[in-house]
Structure 1
């Protein structure tokens, strides 16, 4: 599927926090209930899509429209 989220990984810290990384760089740290909920959801959903949603780095629906904009046509 073109445009599918990729490059996301996560690691669980000793204190229970979950750190989400995008291409190896820290994007978000989840703590407490959000971290627990993420660890449950990551096993039941598509992990890449879930991490994209949590970090806010998710398709906004305007990519195709922006590509056709006169300012971006030469790119």
Structure 2
């Protein structure tokens, strides 16, 4: 599974955190959630943390789901 990429974040003076993915707004965090995010992103892999906080990450079961009989005939 490839590593997440393309995420960036900015922290505003009021404590608000804006997370973007490839230049588009992914989420905005305020208050206690913004503080927890900032602590976590500084202590770990920033790209993976941002992917997890925005929900924009792969679960690892895409191939299994694609091959399930219920999904046969559906191709995207």
Alignment TM class, shorter chain as reference: 0.7 to 0.9
- Corresponding residue pairs, total: 72
Cα distance between partner residues in 2 of 1:67 and 1:47: 30
Counterpart residue number, 1:39: 38
Write out the 4+ residue segments of structure 1 that deviate beyond 3 Å after TM superposition: 66-72
Please give the secondary structure, in 2, of the residue aligned with 1:51: helix
What's the RMSD between the two structures over aligned residues? Answer: 1.6
Cα distance between partner residues in 2 of 1:35 and 1:7: 20
Pairwise mapping of residues 53-72 of structure 1 onto structure 2 (< 5 A)?
A: 53-66=52-65, 68=67, 70=72, 71-72=74-75
**TM-score normalized by the length of structure 1:** 0.82
| Structure 1: unaligned runs, 5 residues or longer | none
Cα distance between partner residues in 2 of 1:4 and 1:67: 21
